[in-house]
Amino acid sequence: MVATAPAPKPVNAELLADVEPRFVKVREFLEPIASRCTVAPGFNSPEPNRIDVNIEAGDLLTAASAFYDNHWGYLAAITGLDHGPEEDYLEALYHFCGGAAVTTLRVKLPRHGGSVPSIAERIPAAGFFEREFAEMFGVYPTGLQDCSHLFLPEDWPDGLYPLLKDTEIPSPKTIASMDGLDKPIVDQGGGRFIVPIGPQHPALKEPGHFEFTVEGEIVVGASMRLGYVHRGLEKATESRNYIQNLYLLERVCGICSHTHASAYSNAVEQLAGVEVPLRAQAIREIVAGLERIHSHLLWLGVAAHEAGFDTLFMYSWRDRETVMDLLEQITGNRVNYSICLLGGVKQDVNYAQADALRAGLDYLEQRSRHYYEVVTTDSMFLQRTRDIGTMSLAQAEYLGALGPTARASGVVRDVRVEAPYGAYRRFPVSVVMDTAGDLEARFKVRLKELFVSCSAIRTILDNLPDTELTTRMPRRVPAGETVSRVEAPRGEAFYFVKSNGTDMPERVKVRTPSLCNWTSVLNQAIGRQLADVPLLIAGMDPCFSCNDRMVVVRDNSMHHGVRSASSKGDAHHTEIWTWEKLRQYGIDFYRRGGNK
């Protein structure tokens, strides 16, 4: 098992070869903008794969557009950074990722009453990031259409911005008023109705509230309200030490808990300058692979359930227990494995466990092959997936989709390949792609990823490096900033961590893949039958506890490139009807012969 570990590759040379040409291009197109900045002109490179560019707030839209005009990467996140009342300024960090390179636009702002121009018109994915930033720091982007609460409750006190350093938040029990239940406006006039779904609903196991505007059976508008599982973790990290945060951040999401633990560990280890032993890196990737298998099988079952195919749901969940057993054998827990330590891993993989893994993977691979055959040949199932929710390559890039959702549309976007971290440098994986872009393609991509994960785990097991499991980790982490990107089962998870030399982080920013994928789902829903909506939502594998934020409104007047069903009536016309009037409308509607 231990014998022949491949010789470690010169990681940095490879990394530099990838990022250098990218940075040359960035310097080229950002030079005129950066030179206009009066605060601190020029480019800084705090880490080999990162470059920071200070710009004036007024130049933001030009600078952000330049990335897209030059086809340089995509907007990964907007981080707000409060430097506290003493230094008395805020910073808005716009992170753009291209390959392994991360370019950060830094805009300096006053702590109160600052403003930045909105870039959401140019980059739709930024809409959510901007609203989160506005809500958390009180910086409202000018030109942003919807500034309502993103993931704080409706009755959150005005002027209370949780992530400002000196904000004292009153006890939640005093904020909570038990009234003010939301009142859905069902009829939109012009033959349009809203179908409200959630937060408690039978299909998805997590709370989210959707409102689909329908004309007959056709969806013409979609909006959503999340934040039901917003807990305030980013703030909580600032009052816990690095080790406590590891266990807190693991519980950002119970499905991809290892992703969050490893993304956070990687970030803290980079800040501390600690190199994780090779065996520990390999074990982390074994667990990451098993987690991907469990997550994709879970998704397959839930998605099949949405399509009314409960047999497949039950079978896939039965087989998922195999991988749960393997996870339990290695880590000691079925969910929230806590295998990561800062500087290593907690448990070793012994010979017996390796053999159990191999046997389990053989079975899972065989079953996955069967499921692949089912979802690509079952004619009833294909009616629900083939050519439904099709997203073109251009749309996927424009809307900022990530993970399997993007890869099913032909976007090559996988952090494990683009910016290999941990053991992926020594044990590379291949990207699974499809070009069809419909729901069937998303099924195919995820199922094929099961095979890739199985073979990747086998390779690691055959070449498990023989080193220590942990290395010494300082309790206080030197001051600095870093970015950590990890490929979660749903797409890229992005972490920004700033340390200040103490044993607690100054700022931890978490951006999860589901947040980036919502725009694409809502756009796909428009023009489709209402019955397709559950499967479309399930198709991106949403994870509410990961993103727990935002409201989106996409009306057919606003969205791009998707056929709209019809556009009679004024989309923005709203009228409140009584129950009696609605009932009478229904009777008249069907007496007339429906939606003719």
Partner 1 sequence: MTQLSERWKEVIGKVKTWAFTNSIYVVHFNSGSCNGCDIEILATLTPRYDAERLGVKLIGSPRHADVLICTGPVSLQARERLLRTYQQMPDPKFVVVVGSCGVQGGVFDGCYNVMGGVDTVIPVNAYIPGCPPRPEAIIDGIVKLLGSLRSPAKAVPVLNPEGKVS
- Torsion, Cα of 307, 392, 30, 415 (10° steps): 50
One-letter-per-residue 3-state SS of 556-592: CCCCCCCCCCCCCCCCCCCCCCCHHHHHHHHHHHHHC
Whichever of 23 and 309 has its CB closer to partner 1, that residue is 309
Q: Binding to partner 1 by residue 591, rule CB under 8 A?
A: no
Q: What are the backbone dihedrals phi and psi of residue 498, each rounded to the nearest 5 degrees, phi first?
A: -120, 125
Q: Give the residues across from 487 on adjacent strands.
A: 492
C-beta of residue 522 within 8 angstroms of C-beta of residue 391: no
Q: For the window 176-205, what string marks contact with partner 1 as x by the rule CB under 8 A?
A: x-xxxx-----------------xxxxx-x
Q: Binding to partner 1 by residue 551, rule CB under 8 A?
A: no
Match 């008249």 to its residue by tokens: 588
Scanning 56-64, 148-156, 264-272, 472-480 for contacts with partner 1 by CB under 8 A, the matching segment is 148-156
Which residues in the 160-179 window bind partner 1 by CB under 8 A? 162, 169, 172-173, 175-176, 178-179
- Least distance (Å) between residue 204 CB and partner 1: 9
- Least distance (Å) between residue 232 CB and partner 1: 4
Which residues in the 228-267 window bind partner 1 by CB under 8 A? 228-233, 235-236, 239, 247-248, 251-255, 257
Identify the residue among 9, 334, 370, 568 touching partner 1 (CB under 8 A). Answer: 334
Applying CB under 8 A, the site for partner 1 has a residue count of 58
Whichever of 185 and 236 has its CB closer to partner 1, that residue is 236
Max Cα-Cα span within the chain: 78
Whichever of 169 and 393 has its CB closer to partner 1, that residue is 169
How many residues comprise the chain? 596
Whichever of 18 and 328 has its CB closer to partner 1, that residue is 328
User: Between β-strands 505-511 and 551-555, what pairing exists: parallel, antiparallel or unpaired?
Assistant: unpaired
Q: Binding to partner 1 by residue 299, rule CB under 8 A?
A: no
A 10 A CB-CB count for 20 gives 12
Which residues in the 64-93 window bind partner 1 by CB under 8 A? none
Identify the residue among 29, 68, 89, 317 touching partner 1 (CB under 8 A). Answer: 317
Q: For the window 126-145, what string marks contact with partner 1 as x by the rule CB under 8 A?
A: --------------------
What tokens appear for 425 in the block? 């440098």
Whichever of 326 and 391 has its CB closer to partner 1, that residue is 326
C-beta of residue 479 within 8 angstroms of C-beta of residue 500: yes
Question: In one letter, which amino acid is 305?
Answer: H
Residue-wise DSSP of 335-392: SS---EETTEES----HHHHHHHHHHHHHHHHHHHHHHHHHHH-HHHHHHHTTSS---
Q: Binding to partner 1 by residue 346, rule CB under 8 A?
A: no
A 10 A CB-CB count for 593 gives 7
Applying CB under 8 A, which residues contact partner 1? 151-156, 162, 169, 172-173, 175-176, 178-181, 199-203, 205-207, 227-233, 235-236, 239, 247-248, 251-255, 257, 298, 301, 313-315, 317-318, 320-321, 324, 334-336, 543-545
